[in-house]
Amino acid sequence: MTIESPLEKSPVSLFTDASSRLEMALKYVNISEDALKRLKYPKASLSVSIPVRMDNGSLQVFQGYRVRYDDTRGPGKGGVRFHPNVSLDEVQSLAFWMTFKCALLNLPFGGAKGGITLNPKALSRQELERLSRGYIDAIADFIGPDIDILAPDVYTNSMIMGWMMDQYSIIQRQVSPAVVTGKPLMMGGSQGRNTATATGAYYVINTILPKFDQLPERTTVAIQGFGKVGAVLAELLCKAGYKVVAVSDSQGGIYAETGLDIPNIRRYKQQSQSIQELYCNDTVCDIVEHEIISNEDLLKLDVDVLIPAALENQITAANAEQIQAQYIFEVANGPTTSAADPILEDKGIYVFPDILVNAGGVTVSYFEWVQNRSGLYWTLEEVHQRLKERMVEETEQTWNVAQEFSIPMRTAAYVHGLHRLGEALDAKGTRDYYQNGNH
């Protein structure tokens, strides 16, 4: 059964490409036709206009979105991104991925996502606060601790999440910390949430590479995306003995064959950032001690491990043939197109999918939600231990599915998640149940 978007009929839409990954998985899982029909469409999609009074007195209107793709296993869960390329097609695709990510990690959530189309670096702190609160004003009836829970994503952070939680609480006239995760600690945030995506990816990498006898000290790594996730992961890998030879951000990258001093590079970026700004305007290209390369060059480096940790559609049919890495761990959402997958597979490259590798963020968001609702808060050590147990367990289960059916890890991840989604959807009743009259 072909799954296509009811909102975007273009064959090149991101959603069409994202949903095509299910086609392979359907061959290896027994799922009812009823469940498939329900997974074809998002449960609800919302587009809103957000008027913001700018610092100079002018009025600008921004376009915002929120999509709740599925809530069969629990309330929707997904981040909010601020980026110039945000569109309904992108947000719907991200909500679709979140649906399978939450099922894959066995979290009691469905999939959702949100975003606002803008360049956040062009706004002042006050303008960003007005925009963030305006977004909540526009979608307040669409979200809630038991309906749809927000979190940070690209170019959003704990400060912005705090504004959003506070605005929702104002609207509801009650403190509602569980509506947003990734908040500041003093507003009910969880220990370890800011670094959860990177830490979870680190656990996946350390679970997988020993299966190939790939030792850290003999492993070279290139990371595209030196932001709040990629930079943390780079330092974790560096401290564990991996040789990180290249990193990049939106402006370009640096490369050193003998390995980069990641802690010093991180300190450089942090120190050069103005404390008056929410976002870092500097780039790793400013570090001139190393060879300067482009983002495209980084993807093609002869390294053992390639980690795309930036945005979607970085590895495509156009450049997949030039990829030389043996292992790809997708930390970004959707960095590899479906057309690139068979090319990489033919080259013998192992791809470990985003819905598994970057699931640490939503997992600790789940922990934060649980802590908010119980009023009991965990230490950083407890969070890390629970995260490690969850990531290792689901990585091993996905690996076992891949071995059982001799299929790529991406397909195995969808099989694993689809099995749980199918069971939850079928529990509400199927055609066979009603036709057979069973009770």
Residues classed as catalytic: 113
Q: Which of 52, 194, 55, 232 is nearest to 136 (CA)?
A: 52
Distances (CA, A) of 435 to 37, 39, 375, 431, 439: 18, 22, 46, 6, 11
d(CA 8, CA 105): 28
Number of Cβ within 10 Å of residue 33's Cβ equals 11
Beta bridge partners of 110: 76
Any idea what DSSP says for residue 186? Answer: G
Question: Which stretches of 171-219 are assigned E, i.e. beta strand?
Answer: none
Helices (H), ranges, 218-313: 230-239, 262-272, 295-299
Q: Which of 63, 72, 68, 64 is nearest to 95 (CA)?
A: 68
∠ CA(423), CA(427), CA(181), 5° rounding? Answer: 70
In the block, residue with structure tokens 């994503």 = 153
Report the DSSP pairing between strands 243-249 and 148-152: unpaired
In the block, residue with structure tokens 């803008």 = 118
> How deeply is 389 buried, as exposed, middle or buried, from its count of CB atoms within 10 A (0-12, 13-18, 19+)?
exposed
Secondary structure element (H or E) that encloses residue 395, with its range: helix 380-405
d(CA 161, CA 156): 7
In the block, residue with structure tokens 């952070």 = 157
> Both tokens of residue 396?
């091993």
Q: With beta carbons less than 8 A apart as the criterion, state whether 98 and 132 touch.
A: no
